[in-house]
C-alpha cells in the first residue's frame, strides 16, 4: 500500500473541474430521475411524504464531492453547483434552491471539517450524510412544512430525511467513491490512488 498525502489545500484545476462535473452530472441524473418517476409513479410526485425516503439521492453530490476531492470547501462547492444546475434546468423552487443547496452543502462540509479533512472513510461519510440530511430537514421543517401537523408529519418527515441522507448520501456516496476508484477514473485523486499500485 502506498499512501498519498495531500500536502496542500490549494485546489488544482482538475479538482475544480471534476467537482463541478460531478455536480453537473448529478444535475442531469436528477433530470432523468424526474422523467422516470413522474411517468412511472405518480405516487412519488404527488405524495411528498413518500419523497422523504428518497431524499438522500438529492444529497449525494455534497458527500461524493467531499470524498473524491478531499479539500476544504469541496462538499459545499459541489452542492452549490448542483443547486445552480437544478435551478438552471428548471427546478420547482427557483432561486430558493440555491439557499437550500447552501444549507445542505454546509451540513456536509461541517462533517469533513470535524475530521479536519484527514479522514474520508465510512464514518466520515455517514456523518456527512447525516449532517447534510439534518440541514435539509431543518430547512424544510421551517421553510416548507410549517403548515403541516407537527407530530404526524413534520417530525417523521424530518427524521426520515436524516435517515435517508445517512443511508443513501452517506453510505451510498462512500460505496460510489470506491466503485469509481476501481474504474481508474480517479487516478489523479488521492481517493483513486489509495490502493495497491498497479
Partner 1 sequence: MIDLEPVTRPDAPLARRNPVAKLAAALLCSVILIATLDPVAPAIAIAFELALLPLFGIRLRVLARRAMPLLVGAVGVLVTLVLFAADRSGRILIEAGPFLVTSGVLITALGLVLRMFAVALPGLIVVATTDPTDLADALVQNARLSARFAYGALAAFRLVPLLAQEWQMISMARRARGIDAGRDPLARLRLFGSTAFTLLVGAIRRGTRLAVAMDARGFDATTPRSMARRQHFGHADGLLIAGAAVLAGAALAVSVAVGTFRPLIG
Partner 2 sequence: MSAVRLRDFGWRHAGRKRWAVRGLDLRIEHGERVLLLGASGAGKSTLLAALAGLLPEDSGEQEGTVEVDGRDPRRAREEVGLLFQDPETQLVMARCGDDVAFGPENRGLPAEQIWPRVDEALRRVGFRYGRDRPTAALSGGEQQRLAFAGVLALRPRLLLLDEPTANLDPAGAALIRDAVAAALDADTTLLLVEHRLAEALPLVDRVVVLAPGGGVQADGTPQAVFAAHGEALAAEGVWVPGHPVPARPAATTAGETLLTADELALPPRLASVSLTVRAGEALAVHGPNGAGKSTLALLLGGLLAPAAGRVTATAELAGGDARVPPHRWRAPALVGRIGTVFQDPEHQFVTAAVADELALGPRRTGRTEAQVRATVDTLLDRLRLTALAEANPYTLSGGEARRLSVATALATAPRLLVCDEPTFGQDRRTWQELVELFAELRDNGHGLVTVTHDPEFIAALADRRVRLDQPRSVP
> What cell does 77 get?
462547492
Nearer to partner 2, 118 or 182 (CB): 182
CB 62 within 8 A of CB 75: yes
Distance, CA of 20 to CA of 80 (rounded, Å): 9
Question: Between 114 and 188, whose beta carbon lies closer to partner 1?
Answer: 188
Q: Which does 2 bind (CB under 5 to 8 A by kind): partner 2, partner 1, none?
A: partner 2
How many residues touch partner 2 under the rule CB under 8 A: the total is 16
Half-sphere exposure in the Cβ direction for 120 (13 Å, CA): 28
> Which residue from 40, 89, 159, 188 is in contact with partner 2, where contact means CB under 8 A?
188
State which H helix or E strand residue 144 sits in: none
- Least Å distance, CB 18 to partner 1, is 4
SS3 assignment, position 183: helix
143 belongs to the binding site for partner 1 (CB under 8 A) = yes
Which of 131, 130, 152, 153 has the alpha carbon at shortest distance from 141? 153
With CB under 5 to 8 Å by kind, the binding choice for 195 among partner 2, partner 1, none is partner 2
Partner touching 9 among partner 1, partner 2, none, CB below 5 to 8 Å by kind: none
Q: Which does 93 bind (CB under 5 to 8 A by kind): partner 1, partner 2, none?
A: partner 1
Amino acid at each position: 500500500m502506498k499512501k498519498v498525502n495531500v500536502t496542500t489545500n490549494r485546489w488544482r484545476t482538475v479538482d475544480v473541474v471534476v467537482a463541478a462535473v460531478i455536480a453537473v452530472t448529478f444535475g442531469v441524473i436528477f433530470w432523468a430521475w424526474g422523467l422516470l418517476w413522474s411517468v412511472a409513479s405518480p405516487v412519488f410526485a404527488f405524495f411528498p411524504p413518500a419523497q422523504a425516503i428518497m431524499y438522500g439521492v438529492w444529497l449525494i453530490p455534497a458527500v461524493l464531492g467531499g470524498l473524491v476531492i478531499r479539500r476544504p470547501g469541496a462538499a459545499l462547492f459541489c452542492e452549490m453547483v448542483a443547486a445552480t444546475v437544478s435551478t438552471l434546468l428548471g427546478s420547482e423552487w427557483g432561486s430558493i434552491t440555491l439557499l437550500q443547496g447552501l444549507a445542505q452543502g454546509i451540513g456536509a462540509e461541517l462533517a469533513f471539517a470535524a475530521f479536519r479533512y484527514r479522514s474520508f472513510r465510512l464514518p466520515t461519510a455517514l456523518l456527512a450524510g447525516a449532517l447534510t440530511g439534518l440541514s435539509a430537514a431543518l430547512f424544510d421543517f421551517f421553510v416548507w412544512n410549517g403548515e403541516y401537523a407537527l407530530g404526524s408529519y413534520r417530525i417523521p418527515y424530518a427524521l426520515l430525511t436524516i435517515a435517508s441522507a445517512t443511508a443513501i448520501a452517506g453510505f451510498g456516496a462512500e460505496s460510489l467513491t470506491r466503485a469509481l476508484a476501481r474504474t481508474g477514473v480517479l487516478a489523479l485523486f488521492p481517493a483513486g490512488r489509495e490502493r495497491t499500485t498497479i
